[in-house]
Structure 1
Amino acid sequence: MNLPSDFVTRTCRLMGDADFSALEEALEKETPVSIRINQDKCTFVPVDSTPVPWCPEGYYLSGRPAFTFDPLFHAGCYYVQEASSMFLAQALRQYVQEPAVMLDLCAAPGGKSTLARSVLPEGSLLVANEVMRNRSQVLAENLVKWGNPEVMVTNNDPADFTELGPLFDVVLTDVPCSGEGMFRKDEVAVQEWSIANVDTCWQRQRRILRDIWPCLKTGGLLVYSTCTYNREENEDNVAWIARELGAEVLPLEVKPEWHITGNLTEHTFPVYRFLPHKTTGEGLFLAVLRKTSEEDRECARVKPAGKSPKKGKGGKTPVLQVPREVQAWIHGAEGYGFSVEEMEAVAFPMAHKPLYELLKSRLKVLHAGVTLGEWKGKDWQPSHTLAMSTAFRKEAFPTAELTYEQTVAYLRKEAVTLSPEVPKGYVVLAYRGQALGFAKNIGNRANNLYPQEWRIRSGYLPEILPDLFV
């Protein structure tokens, strides 16, 4: 790997010549492949795998299978995530024991969001945000597949949150950075690196932190992370947060055998660096801070509704309510509030309904709670989001178990023919007992209801089928 000379000089100065030589050698090796199991859906253990020490749900794989063609990946049974970034679990497990409201500010594609949602105590709400429109769609897809109903996905600039005031108990800022920790995975990151870009990054990171700081409650946690090595974007920014914004840096419980590196500067506060020549994973920096400064504003209030309801045929506005039989599609329906929004039936946990209404009035919300179904003029068509949700009451619909070949055809949004024994009407299609989505069985064929934008586009089929689990 041809590393930029300025990067070599600066990183040698930070780490020392011996550590840098070891890092440079590690960057020539293959990137480890790791996944994290969604234990709300399954308890599978990957074949021929090694546990990730700092995350009980994480596993290193012996190779990289064709994840695209694994139905269990599409069912949200696991997430392909770089092992170092799973360290977030340590911070949340150590400091968040009660239900909390958490914001993941720069969340796409969703690795840390899905992890946070799995680790947060039941009754918590996760708001996952991404400013880039195309990336926010990927984020929403991944969180829908993960299936937890106590989630909202927004598509906003960090500055859009400022006026909301102190709503959040935890804020994760996995900020855009110069990406030095991704050099092994991304050749473009090497080509685009420059000192000027590092300077741009640390200044942008501070703008983001200033924008979001008013939204964190006094006593709340800020988790700050990057995937880069330099001090400007790491220790220097943590020192700036503590000094200028008002926070104390908190320690995390780690084991010596994890080989996590600490502070590399003259600062003495605890930080956690993952270096590829010491830990099995990519470059990561993480620090946890508790806000000590007082809020200077109150929480915002719901803005008056501005949008008119969608018109029906003839220009009349349909008045729809979510019928009891649709509410019964999820477990624990009594704990949800139900509404019809743009012809879709939505269920959202009642415990967080006021916050849902506030964020919906002020932010661009892409996904929230569970979308149960869409009104199609004559009946309610169940939503794919429902099939993916851990709140889904599967016995509400007949289930048809598919073969692997049928499953791939379904995920490509091709026609699927079901057994004559399968009842007509809406049917849950499953693979190895895991819901994949819905089809409408009309007898001689089944209408494929898999989302068009999520379909497998490749016509290739691997010779060796991906079978990660025993």
Structure 2
Amino acid sequence: MNFPPDFISSVRPLLGSETELFLSALSGDASVSLRLNPSKAVRNPMESVFPSKRVPWSQWGLYLEERPAFTFDPLFHAGYYYVQEASSMFVEHVVRELVTEPAVCLDLCAAPGGKSVSLLSALPEGSLLVGNELVRQRAHVLSETISKLGYANVLVTNNMAKDFSAFPHLFDLVLVDAPCSGEGMFRKDEIAVEEWSMQNVEMCAVRQRDILNDIWPALKPGGLLIFSTCTYNTLENEENAFWIARELGAEFVSVTTDKGWGVSSSLDKRVKGYRFFPHKTQGEGLFVTILRKAEAGAEDATVGGQRVRSKNKKKPLPFMKDRSAYANLLLHPDSFIFMEDGNRIFALPVEYSEVIVTLNERLKTVSMGIELGEKKGKDFIPSHMLAMSRELNLSAYPIYEVVYEEAVSYLRRESIILADAPKGYLILTYKGEPLGFVKNIGNRANNLYPNEWRIRSGHLPEKKAEIFTP
């Protein structure tokens, strides 16, 4: 691979005699890795994935020996796993070690969702994740990723960092996986190589400081900030990390690492950080630092046990008094408060229901909690998010198990014929895992798979694209 001369010149002072090894590794093939979804991997456990080996800093990460056609694996669409770059899974290790109590967490620059996936698998039970993405289209991709995982304790928003200043001291943990020059993605993305320039590096560094400055008020005193990039230069990494500590008032926090992981320390002694280089670790480029916000001189914005205040306190909360029509859809209905928004019905976790409603009032919400479905006249159309949810009560609707070819046809959003199936709404399953809903009308079944999620690729691969053994 031909790297820009200025890029090579910029890494030589960082790596010295290791520069050629680094450039050689950066020119090689990227590893293939994925993260299993702990909430769904029970039915097809980790041991059934082969050939694979564990990502050492992740409880749920796996390396694969080759890259299968993930698009044609029904369990990928069912949320059994997420195809994620291995280095980025280090966020899971950080959170698992430092966050031991339920937390309100913000993933600020979250699309397409890999680090949100890591957060959800590592945050203690009873936490809330707000996944945010500025670009509208990417925010919908983020919502799709999180919906397939099946978690209910999530709100997906489409906002700028400064919009969260309306919620001072709300978040116990903020992850800023900042937009960067993307040097760490060079061997996976040729466009990143073509677009690289020192001018772009400098622009990214300034933009990162603006984002960090805007989001800082929303982090509670004593709260943790995880700042990460997928680039190598010190301008976007150590220098910005030191700027956070000096200008915003924070101290660096360490986590344990194993020497066998090949994780490097910060290149600046003033900064505690972690670097992933492709000639040392099996993964792409990554920089991570953790800082704790100073507590001195700050006032907690907690109001009535909640750290947000409703825009209109006199306006009644939009919760349903009679939930009898929908309670049977969930395994643990008492853990949720049901809400009607137009024709759509949502289930929100009890402990965060008021927080979610207030955030929904002031932010541009893409998805929240569990969308149960939509009322249409006398009919109730179940939502695909309900089918994906780990809270789905499988006895609420008849189940129809499909074979591989039928599953792919469904995921293409094609009409399918279900022999001897009852009429009405059915849950299609593959290997026991829900794929989504259909409405069987007798001679055929109306496919209710989301149109924007459908498989658009061409012919099926000759070999079944399945990473789980039969």
Deviation by residue 1:247-271 (Cα, 9 ceiling, x = unmatched): 1101111000001010112x34321
Contact 1:214 1:296 in 2 (8 A): no
Which residue does the alignment assign to 1:79?
A: 82
Give the distance between the partners of 1:360 and 1:302, measured in 2 at CA.
10
Query: Does residue 252 in structure 1 map to residue 252 in structure 2?
Result: no
Deviation by residue 1:427-465 (Cα, 9 ceiling, x = unmatched): 000100010000111222111111111111123110011
Give the distance between the partners of 1:268 and 1:303, measured in 2 at CA.
42
Contact 2:220 2:300 in 1 (8 A): no
**1:245 aligned counterpart, secondary structure:** helix
Deviation by residue 1:243-293 (Cα, 9 ceiling, x = unmatched): 11011101111000001010112x343210000000000000001111115
Query: Does residue 401 in structure 1 map to residue 404 in structure 2?
Result: no
Query: Does residue 198 in structure 1 map to residue 201 in structure 2?
Result: yes
Give the C-alpha shift of residue 300 in structure 1. Answer: 4.9
Which residue does the alignment assign to 2:427?
A: 428
**2:326 aligned counterpart, secondary structure:** helix
**2:329 aligned counterpart, secondary structure:** coil
Give the C-alpha shift of residue 5 in structure 1. Answer: 1.1
Contact 2:372 2:386 in 1 (8 A): yes
User: Would the alpha carbon gap of residues 100 and 297 (structure 1) be closer, same or farther in structure 2, given more than 3 Å must change?
Assistant: closer
Query: Does residue 126 in structure 1 map to residue 129 in structure 2?
Result: yes
User: Would the alpha carbon gap of residues 271 and 214 (structure 1) be closer, same or farther in structure 2, given more than 3 Å must change?
Assistant: same
Query: Does residue 437 in structure 1 map to residue 440 in structure 2?
Result: no
Give the distance between the partners of 1:405 and 1:419, measured in 2 at CA.
15
Matches within 5 A, 1:280-359: 280-293=282-295, 294-295=297-298, 298=301, 300-304=308-312, 323-359=323-359
**2:93 aligned counterpart, secondary structure:** helix
Give the C-alpha shift of residue 118 in structure 1. Answer: 1.4
Contact 1:304 1:361 in 2 (8 A): no
Superposition TM-score, scaled by structure 1 size: 0.94
Contact 2:403 2:430 in 1 (8 A): yes
Which residue does the alignment assign to 2:141?
A: 138
Which residue does the alignment assign to 1:8?
A: 8
Query: Does residue 188 in structure 1 map to residue 191 in structure 2?
Result: yes
Give the distance between the partners of 2:266 and 2:414, measured in 1 at CA.
53
Tell me whether 2-11 or 276-285 shows the greater mean CA deviation. 2-11
**1:444 aligned counterpart, secondary structure:** coil
| Structure 1 residue corresponding to 2:104, chosen from 101, 106, 109 | 101
Give the distance between the partners of 1:268 and 1:323, measured in 2 at CA.
56
Give the C-alpha shift of residue 334 in structure 1. Answer: 1.0
Contact 2:132 2:156 in 1 (8 A): yes
Contact 1:15 1:264 in 2 (8 A): no
Deviation by residue 1:376-413 (Cα, 9 ceiling, x = unmatched): 11121111000000111111111000011111111111
**1:22 aligned counterpart, secondary structure:** helix
User: Would the alpha carbon gap of residues 107 and 322 (structure 1) be closer, same or farther in structure 2, given more than 3 Å must change?
Assistant: farther
**1:400 aligned counterpart, secondary structure:** strand
| 4+ residue segments displaced more than 3 Å | 293-300, 319-323
Q: Which amino acid aligns with 1:409?
A: S
Give the distance between the partners of 2:107 and 2:121, measured in 1 at CA.
14
User: Would the alpha carbon gap of residues 300 and 433 (structure 1) be closer, same or farther in structure 2, given more than 3 Å must change?
Assistant: closer
Superposition TM-score, scaled by structure 2 size: 0.94
Contact 1:322 1:340 in 2 (8 A): no
Contact 1:166 1:295 in 2 (8 A): no
**1:395 aligned counterpart, secondary structure:** coil
Q: Which amino acid aligns with 1:324?
A: S
Contact 1:322 1:345 in 2 (8 A): no
Matches within 5 A, 1:162-241: 162-241=165-244
Give the C-alpha shift of residue 339 in structure 1. Answer: 1.1
Give the distance between the partners of 2:466 and 2:197, measured in 1 at CA.
42
User: Would the alpha carbon gap of residues 132 and 285 (structure 1) be closer, same or farther in structure 2, given more than 3 Å must change?
Assistant: same
Q: Mind listing any 5+ residue stretches in structure 2 that lack a counterpart?
A: 302-306
**2:378 aligned counterpart, secondary structure:** coil
Q: Which amino acid aligns with 2:292?
A: R
Q: Which amino acid aligns with 1:15?
A: L
Give the C-alpha shift of residue 323 in structure 1. Answer: 4.1
Which residue does the alignment assign to 1:113?
A: 116
Deviation by residue 1:117-146 (Cα, 9 ceiling, x = unmatched): 111111100000000001001000000001
Give the distance between the partners of 2:55 and 2:446, measured in 1 at CA.
41
Q: Which amino acid aligns with 1:387?
A: A
User: Would the alpha carbon gap of residues 186 and 87 (structure 1) be closer, same or farther in structure 2, given more than 3 Å must change?
Assistant: same
User: Would the alpha carbon gap of residues 297 and 192 (structure 1) be closer, same or farther in structure 2, given more than 3 Å must change?
Assistant: farther
**2:439 aligned counterpart, secondary structure:** strand
Matches within 5 A, 1:379-398: 379-398=379-398
**2:264 aligned counterpart, secondary structure:** coil
Q: Which amino acid aligns with 1:357?
A: V
Which residue does the alignment assign to 1:314?
A: none
Give the C-alpha shift of residue 29 in structure 1. Answer: 1.1
Which residue does the alignment assign to 1:313?
A: none
Give the distance between the partners of 2:348 and 2:379, measured in 1 at CA.
21
Tell me whether 103-112 or 194-203 shows the greater mean CA deviation. 194-203
Give the C-alpha shift of residue 346 in structure 1. Answer: 0.4
Deviation by residue 1:6-53 (Cα, 9 ceiling, x = unmatched): 11111101221x211111000121110000000111143321101100
Tell me whether 288-297 or 129-138 shows the greater mean CA deviation. 288-297
Contact 1:321 1:339 in 2 (8 A): no
Deviation by residue 1:73-129 (Cα, 9 ceiling, x = unmatched): 000000000000000011101111111000000000000001101111111000000
Give the distance between the partners of 1:143 and 1:321, measured in 2 at CA.
28
Q: Mind listing any 5+ residue stretches in structure 1 that lack a counterpart?
A: 308-318
Aligned length: 456
